[in-house]
Amino acid sequence: MATPKFIAPSTSFYAELKSRTSAYFEEIGSQPTGNKNLYIKAAVLLSSLVFLYVHLVFFTPPFWLAIIECILLGGVTAAIGFNIMHDGGHGSFSKRKWVNTLAGLSSNMLGANIHMWTTKHNIIHHTYTNIDGVDDDLDAKPFLRLCENQEHLKIHKYQHFYFWGAYAMLFIYWVFITDYIKYFTQKVGTIPLQKMKRKDHISFWGFKMMHFALFVILPIYTVGFLPWLIGFLIYGMFTGLVMSIVFQLAHTVEHAHFPMPTVATNRIEDEWALHQLKTTANFATKNKIVSWLTGGLNFQIEHHLFPRISHVHYPAISKIIKQACAEFGVTYNEYPKTRTAILSHIAHLKQLALQPVLVQR
């Protein structure tokens, strides 16, 4: 389908948000990019990754400890994606472009190509959030039905039970299958991929081979095939589960909307910022541990409105956005705890598991 357009309102809610947010950064005399707290966190996460990898691959820990370390490695991998790659990919990790590029390349190091992600996430998902047929994040066919506009299959009757398994496979599927589908089709769904330069092709294959060598060939050589297979599946599935849950709580919950463009005009009847607020939800924003681990992705409203602002500033600007929403009469979707957001996601899946009722006319 052709990408839809958004209406241009006479009085822009988003213009007011940008004005107030800019005033905040001028008042505190700070850049909207990352600060020393983010850089310390990045150092901790990267050091943890190296330590866990080296200990697992070269020191052959006891089975029980290896299982724990594989789980931890999966959690650290997800956290690097949330905190380093994500901010870097959006250009908010640092005010220096080359630092953002390096931060974004942490994705390549862990097996998932940043070029594919930029088109899928920055260009498509952040523009056409929750629009079925455009936002590739909604495409989990045939295993999951994530919005009412999608076809109902018999398998979906039980999706609110088996979704955990589907989510656990996300990271492995992403690294070893979907990146290659995007590369060879040069598309994300139906939308053309950003044109790849020679350096992008070299980067794609170079990092894919490096990842395969580090996470497949070398571990098999040092610990053997079966121990590697068990460990890699635990690592990859825990990474996928954590990543999927965090991102699904942002958009596929009970209070999120899934608008479709008007057929005649191919327009979404909202300005872009209002569309983001209707399709996005926050969770557990008062929990500092959740905020630290998820790289502020529990502040998804703030992130979707201002993706080029680092997540370290989300707690502060959330107050500005909440106040503006109250003044403009705009709903601000938020779940107080991670648990309540997960339950809402399950309820959403359960509702979509039902066979749609055909209305007789």
Q: Is residue 359 part of a domain?
A: no
Q: Is residue 212 part of a domain?
A: yes
Q: How confident is the model at residue 358 (pLDDT cuts 50, 70, 90)?
A: low
Residue 334's DSSP bridge partners are 282
Q: Which residues contact 155 (CB under 8 A, 6 or more apart)?
A: 142, 143
Q: pTM for the full model? A: 0.94
CA distance 217 to 240: 21
* pLDDT value of position 360: 47
Per-residue pLDDT of 19-63, as tens digits, reads 999 999 999 999 999 999 999 999 999 999 999 999 999 999 999
* pLDDT value of position 4: 86
CA distance 234 to 306: 35
Instruction: Say if residue 355's pLDDT is above 90.
Output: no
Per-residue pLDDT of 50-107, as tens digits, reads 999 999 999 999 999 999 999 999 999 999 999 999 999 999 999 999 999 999 999 9
Domain count, the chain: 1
Per-residue pLDDT of 268-325, as tens digits, reads 988 999 999 999 999 999 999 999 999 999 999 999 999 999 999 999 999 999 999 9
Residue 283's DSSP bridge partners are 335
Helix, strand or coil for residue 191? strand
- Name residue, tokens 């596929």: 252
Two tokens at 317?
A: 């600007």
Residue 252's DSSP bridge partners are none
165 within 8 A of 233, measured Cβ to Cβ: no
Residue range(s) defining the domain that contains residue 313: 5-353
Q: Which residues contact 131 (CB under 8 A, 6 or more apart)?
A: 4, 138, 258, 259, 260, 261, 268
Helix, strand or coil for residue 100? helix
Two tokens at 349?
A: 């899946």
Nearest one of 252, 145, 108, 128 to 188, comparing CA atoms? 128
Q: Is residue 360 part of a domain?
A: no
Per-residue pLDDT of 120-142, as tens digits, reads 999 999 999 999 999 999 999 99
Helix, strand or coil for residue 65? helix
Per-residue pLDDT of 161-205, as tens digits, reads 999 999 999 999 999 999 999 999 999 999 999 999 999 999 999
Helix, strand or coil for residue 192? strand
Helix, strand or coil for residue 268? strand
Quick one: which H or E segment has residue 267? strand 267-268
Q: Is residue 358 part of a domain?
A: no
Q: Is residue 119 part of a domain?
A: yes
CA distance 275 to 172: 32
